[in-house]
A and B are shown apart, each in its own frame.
Chain A
Amino acid sequence: MTADAQNDPAVRRAQEERLRAVWEAPKGWFFRWTDCNNNRVGNWYVLTAFAFMLFAGVLALIMRTQLAAPENDLVSASTFNQLFTLHGSMMMFLFAVPMFEAVSIILLPSLLGARDLPFPRLSAFGYWSFLIGGVFVAGSIFFNAAPDGGWFMYPPLTTRKDLSGLGADIWMLGLSFIEVSSVAAAVELIVGVLKCRPPGMRLNLMPLYAWYILVVAVMILFAFPPLIAGDVLFEMERLLDWPFFDAARGGDPLLWQHLFWIFGHPEVYIIFLPSIALFAMLVPTFARRHLLGYPWIVLAAVGTAFLSFGLWVHHMFATGLPKISLAFFSAASQAVVIPTGVQIFCFLATLWAGRVVWSTPLLYATGSLAIFVIGGLTGVMVAVVPFDWQAHDTYFVVAHLHYVLIGGTLLPLFAGLYYYWPLVTGKKLSDRLGRTAFWIMFVGANLTFFPMHFSGLMGMPRRVFTYPAELGIGGLNLASTAGAYLFAAGVALVVIDLALSPTRPKARRNPWEAGTLEWLTLPNSENWGTRSIPLIESRYPIWDQPGFVRNVDEGRYFLPDAEEGRRETIVTTVLDARPLQVVRLGTPSVKPMLTAVALGGVFILTTYHLYWLALLSGLATLALVLAWLWTGTAEIPEKPCKPIGHGLELPLYLSGPSSSGWWAMFITMMADATAFSGLVFGYYFYWTVHPAFPPSGAGLDGPGIAWPMVALGLTLASWAATVAAREVHARGRVALARMLLVAAPLASLGGLAAGLAGPWSTGLDPTLHVYPAIVWTLAIWTTAHNGIGAIMQVYTLARSLAGRMTPTHDADLRNITVFQHFLALTAIVTYLTIGWFPEVA
């Protein structure tokens, strides 16, 4: 196949037929939902998140109505508490984060000229998990069982069973489930950006959206796991009475606050940066020039990501920590403003230098920046500790955070909606309705939230279901309520605009005359993504590379065909996007959906204390995951290589650090290690708050040093056996590798038994005091990983025996070795902490 061959229209038509057949969406009332193509799944994802946003918005309207006048009694205190808890939780977990992931699932492949993301079935799994978990959490309000402890769920209010009901479990377990799907999406997006770029798209040519998504996905990897660790401790206390947050038994409510806000503050930037990423795409389009200061934007994204992890105590300024600790976080909170300022000035300079074409998306972008800047300025104010002591937990903060989130997430998303609607549907939205809606929302948002600055400083705490008339804030609250309805009217107008879209004619291709890759999409787009995978030589290839669009359309670049009837895309190197492999992608399957249902079952059944059914559901999850992996991954191709055009021939199979599967394992384990470090932080946190830790007394004797060291030795032996198996296997000594893969799981299971034997043999009672509880938790965490490691080793052995893994096709073995590296590290930290540290402390 040469470029000349593409001159023949008949050849091109035949290629298109084959591509169409390969990428055809499944049909039928049920099977259409088994699709995993990024367009389809992305659209479901966006619509679901949008629906959750509208639902949470209605909850807010009910709250605002209740607060319209002092001493109002529209809803009871109990209902009101459920309303604000669910409003905050849903907007964060069911709207902002999933929405960014959803938009990225739609946009990323076309931005990167890829046919799909590397793990389409994982996207589908993430979506179904999100839907099940979201409906479970949101639906609870119809049964008057919604969580009512605030979106931050501070114990002991939420862990004491006499003070909080099922709602707390629904929050913890339902949202943990969604956190798992968020981490899954993060893995998908990171691997997508790093490994699935088109040839020639070096790091310095990457669209800025991809840079931001990379940064944000990495942030998710480090921000969500501490919350998952907190969730684990929280549910252990609720379900098993392990006293992590019970001060009477050595626990400390502040540990939850640390773990929650280590998640919670980066979370703010996790949902803000993708919106800035949308600006970084649309500002150059409407300034008709390259974005000024590309490295500056990368600086800002990476810098914000780092600094945002040094801000968490900024939510705990009033908890009585030493002032010196608060001051460190105050300093970091000021420093994080710098990169934000840089981004705004990059956009400003670009508009200044370019020829501005005024448009609805740009109007939204401008308006949201105005609102965001006000929120940012009040953000600097609350970063100043003495001011925050007044403003904290009052309506001032409600005003601040809504300015930030409306200006930094919601309105930018509407900007993105008006900008990218033609990309998704081929049609433009109405400029008139869009601009009217913008002004209604802009006035509404300011009328709602500006007066709250005053009601807060005038003594109105947050999360109150009513307030006395004597505070003199009735007028301010009435204004806020009026503004909320105005804002809702604006949102309704946008919804009407969307609903009218099917009646409108198709727009032309690339209606905004943008320069970036995603605008190759045709108004009647095909499922296959890009016609051929282009060679990139510029940041704005449509503007800068002559004949670019025609060459792509006529299949003159790479991989214009699907000869073997397989879904394929190109894997490239991380830095310079040199082509490495043609990877075969997952096809529609019912397994991701079933896995999501089974895993959802584990969380939901546990909520209702149906432990045996939950265990069954867990086993079903395991079986489904194994079946999914067995049939769908590391498949040995029918031939080693295939040509992709222009004389290039790429392998169809890769293993180790250059493959996408290895990266997915590595990234997942980074998240796992972060969650683990949250638990370790817990152990040493308790050490700092107790004068004597470990404490002494009956039932409080530590696990000793012998058993932990045996467990450590066995776990390291299992690790060594796996590494050795990988090495000898690669040298063709399959039999020896298989023997090692028999020994490794045995050592791992031995490590499991010995790890639990320590605390078991000394009779540590985890309900007595927090020390036994945290020791047991660390031991269980590590030994559970021993168990998972053993399953992986047996799986790999089975792959080898079944002929699905050979010395040249050893991705499975290389991937489980990554797991073993992390397990070894986990075991070293755990057993030194619980076995050795008490000896030296």
Chain B
Amino acid sequence: MYKYKVGARRVRRCEKGVMRRARRIFGAMAATLLIAGCNRHQSALAPFGAEAEQVRHLTLVLVVGSVVILVALAGLWVAAVRAPEGRLSHKGGMRLVLVLGALVPTLVLFALLLYALPMMRPRPVSRADLRITVTGEQFWWRVAYQPAGTPPVTAANEVRIPVGRTVAFQLKASDVIHSFWIPGLAGKMDMIPGRTNELVVRADVPGRYRGACTEFCGLSHARMALDVVAMEPAAFDRWLALQRRPAAPAPARGQALFAENGCAGCHTVRGTGALGTIGPDLTHFGSRLRVAAGTLPMETEAIARFIRKPDDAKPGARMPAFPHLPPDDARQIATYLQGLQ
């Protein structure tokens, strides 16, 4: 498993500590902040984008309000059960229902509505802003970067965005419904066959993050993740220029095996004869953080195993299995792919 800067051990230690504390103050929403310290790459509680930051603030307001209401209601209930008969007259009871049961909730909810409605306005987007088309497929992501005025750049299973700039994701689906969720960046948006949905975001903090498919999409729904890298704008522009180039020539045996086994039927490696478009574009495969939509580490063994038996890692994956491929050949192909920087 690919490890983020937050080491696995630290995650585990932190988790234990939190659970101990959370149990002690069970029910106290203060745990929110503590737990937010655990996982900083795929969490709505650890935002790196403006949209998610706004929702985190909204969440705090809602949680505090809810706790106040819950405590008040519990107190009233206890008082009601303990009160001797007739402490509250019929008239007083009806006033209680009218004021606390009807009027106060109406006003509080109305205020909440007015507070939340403006937050629904999406960020304005102009013609000059970067557009990234992401298409959900069972069980991976097809990505096409479309900077204004230049031809698109195709990639897969990883999204890189410049910080401080508005980015408009155009979200589509080719087979079934998926949903595009990068919790640290913004809320989710569904990808629906036949429709194009737009999600406009702005990342603020550079770093490596993770997203996931949140609409149940079949057997490997749980294994449909997405690496996200927020970069400084200049670094991003350099990176995109590199992605635009075809693959460097690699006179390795792996490339021949790749061709012999018909991989090109589904995959594109620009600059070679491989032009298939059914599966992910592999032109700069080696530059990505992980393999098979955030499921496997970028390691030769893992890639080779995936080529021979994709179902082991991703049940129901559309990629055909190559169980008869000698393991060494699979490793050769893997090495070739890793070389596609």
Residue positions of A touching B, CB distance < 8 A: 76-78, 81, 149-150, 154, 156-157, 160, 163, 247-248, 251-254, 288-289, 292-293, 296, 318-320, 323, 326-327, 330-331, 334-335, 337-338, 341-342, 344-346, 348-356, 358, 366, 369-370, 373-374, 377-378, 380-381, 384-394, 446, 450-451, 454, 457-459, 461-476, 479
Contact = CB atoms under 8 A, between A and B. Distances in A.
Given A77-B222, A353-B90, A476-B19, A459 B210 contact: yes
Contacts of A391: 44
A332 B180 CA distance: 26
Given A157-B218, A334-B113, A473-B39, A318 B187 contact: yes
Given A154-B177, A156-B175, A320-B189, 20 more contacts: A76-B315, A150-B216, A252-B194, A253-B177, A319-B197, A323-B122, A338-B106, A342-B101, A346-B97, A349-B80, A351-B83, A370-B74, A380-B109, A381-B59, A386-B55, A389-B55, A389-B188, A458-B44, A463-B221, A471-B39
Contacts of A378: 66
A334 B4 contact: no
A127 B126 CA distance: 60
A691 to B, nearest CB: 13
A156 B177 CA distance: 7
A349 B87 contact: no
Interface in B199-256: 210, 212-222, 225
Contact of A355 (B69, B84, B121): B84
Nearest to B138: A163
A326 B19 CA distance: 37
29 contacts: A77-B316, A247-B193, A253-B193, A318-B179, A320-B195, A320-B198, A337-B109, A349-B93, A352-B83, A352-B96, A353-B86, A353-B90, A354-B85, A355-B84, A356-B80, A377-B70, A380-B66, A381-B62, A384-B112, A384-B116, A385-B116, A390-B188, A393-B215, A458-B42, A459-B44, A459-B183, A464-B222, A470-B8, A472-B12
Given A78-B219, A253-B193, A373-B73, A386 B120 contact: yes
A465 B66 CA distance: 31
A462 B35 contact: no
Contacts of A157: 176-177, 216-218
A352 B79 contact: yes
Nearest to B105: A341
A390 to B, nearest CB: 4
B240 to A, nearest CB: 26
Contact of B100 (A288, A345, A393, A475): A345
Contact of B94 (A344, A348, A349): A349
Contacts of A366: 77, 81
Nearest to A84: B216
B188 A318 contact: yes
Query: Counting chain A CB atoms within 10 Å of each CB, which of B8, B79, B218 scores highest?
Result: B218
A208 B234 CA distance: 68
B275 interface: no
A462 B214 contact: yes
Contact of A475 (B19, B63, B69, B177): B19
B304 interface: no
A469 B120 contact: no
B97 A349 contact: yes
B192 A390 contact: no
Nearest to A391: B44
Interface in B90-119: 90, 92-94, 96-97, 100-102, 105-106, 109-110, 112-113, 116-117, 119
Query: Counting chain B CB atoms within 10 Å of each CB, which of A247, A319, A391, A459 scores highest?
Result: A459
B42 A471 contact: yes
A391 B183 CA distance: 9
A472 B45 contact: no
Given A157-B176, A386-B116, A387-B62, A334 B109 contact: yes
Contact of A338 (B11, B102, B183): B102
Nearest to A346: B97
A356 B87 CA distance: 12
B214 A393 contact: yes
Interface residues of B, number: 108
Contacts of B76: 348
A458 B84 contact: no
Interface stretch (B24-32, B160-168, B265-273): B24-32
A798 to B, nearest CB: 51
A331 B113 contact: yes
A352 to B, nearest CB: 4
B299 interface: no
B116 A475 contact: no
B192 A160 contact: no
A78 B66 contact: no
B49 to A, nearest CB: 12
B186 interface: yes
Interface SS majority for chain A: helix
B43 interface: yes
A394 B42 CA distance: 12
A351 B77 CA distance: 8
Contacts of B59: 381, 387, 390, 457
Given A156-B175, A378-B66, A393-B214, A450 B27 contact: yes
B150 interface: no
Contacts of B86: 353
Contact of A353 (B32, B93, B188, B195): B93
Contacts of A335: 109
A319 B222 contact: no
Identify the 3 closest CB pairs spanning chains A and B, nearest first: A389-B187, A247-B194, A345-B101
A390 B83 contact: no
Contact of B39 (A355, A381, A459): A459
Contacts of A319: 190, 192, 197
Given A384-B116, A390-B52, A461 B212 contact: yes
A385 B39 contact: no
Contact of B109 (A81, A154, A338, A470): A338
A318 B121 contact: no
A319 B41 CA distance: 25
A459 B176 contact: no
Nearest to B38: A472
A808 B261 CA distance: 85
A220 B245 CA distance: 60
A479 B19 contact: yes
B216 A463 contact: yes
B18 interface: yes
A458 B35 contact: yes
Contacts of B52: 390
Given A156-B176, A352-B80, A369-B77, A254 B62 contact: no
A475 B16 contact: yes
B318 to A, nearest CB: 10
A345 B92 CA distance: 12
A393 B193 CA distance: 19
A344 B35 contact: no
Query: Counting chain B CB atoms within 10 Å of each CB, which of A386, A446, A467 scores highest?
Result: A386
Nearest to B94: A293
A470 B297 CA distance: 12
B90 A393 contact: no
Query: Counting chain B CB atoms within 10 Å of each CB, which of A341, A358, A381 scores highest?
Result: A341
Contacts of B193: 156, 247-248, 253
A314 B26 CA distance: 30
A293 B93 contact: yes
A458 B215 CA distance: 16
A380 B177 contact: no
Contacts of A369: 77
Contacts of B213: 461
B194 A385 contact: no
B140 interface: no
Nearest to B22: A451
Contacts of B194: 247-248, 251-253
B105 A337 contact: yes
Nearest to A350: B93
A390 B62 contact: no
